[in-house]
Amino acid sequence: MATDSTGVSRRAFGVGAAGLATLGASQASAIPAKPKAIPTGKPFILTTWDFGPGANAIGWPMLAGGGSALDVVEAAINHVELLGDYWVGAGGVPNEVGETTLDAMIMWGPTHDAGAVGCLKRVKKAISVARKVMEATQHSLIVGDDATRFAARMGFTETTLTSVVSQQAWDKWAAKGEKSDAFKSEPIGKPAKLAGHDTVGSIALDAAGNLCVGCSTNGREFKIPGRVGDSPIIGAGAYVDQAVGAAVATGNGDVMMRFLPTYHAVELMRGGMEPKAAAEAAIQRITDAGYEISGGIAVIRRDGMHGGAQTGWEKAGFSYSVQTAAGNVKTPVP
Ligand code: ASP
């Protein structure tokens, strides 16, 4: 564990009793009370979009066998990353110069530790590289070619992320001679007709009562090279609080990350709000600011109560699926 020049651990930065005594009365009263812990429910796995049933079918047997939520979230998301889907993982969504790059994050409830990669190139299992960032280092986010170098150091294989489908999509788009639509004005006052985007997000609670959340995406079609979206930003793409629950987001990450919607929703639940109301409030914060985007959020409390909200996807069929011992239930978010 690293220490600074005073010999104080850089991670032990909490305000101790002596520090509190020096705070003024108004500052001290601003410190929120510890939340009343929400009871642990039975194990579950939640996964977003139509990826839900397939990813949950990978994760559920692990959970039922007493596996760790961390392993479950990684395995469920690896499954989607390797499907060859256009919107998540290798072989999809090229950037402005035709390259597919990946963003992913994993966050572990018991320790509040997190690891993420942004603009990861030439490595398929982005969520697994994110897990290495979390477990093998003190860092939380590593990006670009350096993320690839880090992955190689951790033993991952470098390979192309381009597929016939992503190459053809880019060839067709490039033939039009356009710049990325990310150069257009902000989506305020009129809906942004952006090129496509999507993310997979999973949340699991294991039999030991531990929560984990993760997400992975190849971002936004024809993005400007180097762009990193909301998925690897803690509190934007995903967030967990071991005492409360967790949330995952999908949608126009360039806008959504400005509002930290998953952090917002979990904090609202921490204050006692139910999951669906918390999801709706987090999305409404974005639309109230005037943004007209496509975006959604799925939220689950540690006792298994869940809810979702979306904007701009009334026809796109945003949904999430929750698997428990009782089976898998797909929940549309109209
Ligand atoms: N949030 C992702 C991004 O902006 C894309 C999506 O989920 O639709 O990178």
Is residue 200 left, alpha or beta, with left meaning phi > 0 and alpha meaning psi from -120 to 50? beta
Q: Whose structure tokens read 């762009």?
A: 227
Question: What 3-state class would DSSP assign to 58?
Answer: helix
Q: What is the pLDDT of residue 30?
A: 63
Distance 197 CA to ligand 1 centre (A): 5
Distance 306 CA to ligand 1 centre (A): 21
Among 247, 288, 296, residue whose Cα is nearest residue 270:
247
Q: Which domains does the chain have, with CATH numbers?
A: 46-182+195-322 (3.60.20.30)
Contact present, 253 and 219 (Cβ < 8 Å): yes
Q: What is the pLDDT of residue 198?
A: 81
Distance 249 CA to ligand 1 centre (A): 8
CB 219 near ligand 1, within 6 Å? yes
* Cβ neighbours for 52, distance < 8 A, ≥ 6 positions apart: 46, 319, 320, 321, 328, 330
CB 242 near ligand 1, within 6 Å? no
Distance 103 CA to ligand 1 centre (A): 9
DSSP one-letter code for 138 = S
* Cβ neighbours for 260, distance < 8 A, ≥ 6 positions apart: 233, 235, 236, 239
CB 296 near ligand 1, within 6 Å? no
Among 87, 90, 130, 164, residue whose Cα is nearest residue 234:
130
Q: Is beta strand 211-217 parallel, antiparallel or unpaired with respect to 200-205? A: antiparallel
Pocket test for ligand 1, best of 220, 310, 320 (most atoms within 8 A of CB): 220
| Cβ-count burial 249-284 (b if 16+ within 10 Å, e if not) | bbbbbbbbbebbbbbbbbbbbbeebebbbbbbbbbe
**pLDDT per residue of the chain (334 residues) written in tens, 0 to 9:** 333 333 333 333 333 334 444 444 444 456 656 666 788 889 999 999 999 999 999 999 999 999 999 999 999 999 999 998 888 999 989 999 999 999 999 999 999 999 999 999 999 999 999 999 999 999 999 999 999 999 999 999 999 999 999 999 999 999 999 899 999 988 887 666 655 668 999 999 999 999 999 999 999 999 999 999 999 999 999 999 999 999 999 999 999 999 999 999 999 999 999 999 999 999 999 999 999 999 999 999 999 999 999 999 887 789 999 999 999 999 999 9
Q: What is the pLDDT of residue 142?
A: 98
Distance 271 CA to ligand 1 centre (A): 28
Residue 253 alpha carbon, nearest atom of ligand 1: 4
Return the number of other C-beta atoms located less than 10 Å from residue 47's C-beta.
33
Pocket test for ligand 1, best of 85, 95, 194, 252 (most atoms within 8 A of CB): 252
The CA distance from 61 to 171, in Å, is 41
Q: What is the pLDDT of residue 38?
A: 84
Q: What is the pLDDT of residue 1?
A: 33
CB 229 near ligand 1, within 6 Å? yes
Q: What is the pLDDT of residue 24?
A: 43
CB 217 near ligand 1, within 6 Å? yes
Q: What is the pLDDT of residue 191?
A: 61
Q: What is the pLDDT of residue 7?
A: 38
CB 295 near ligand 1, within 6 Å? no
Return the number of other C-beta atoms located less than 10 Å from residue 157's C-beta.
10
> Which residue has the CA at smallest separation from atom 9 of ligand 1?
219
| 284's tokens | 């409404």
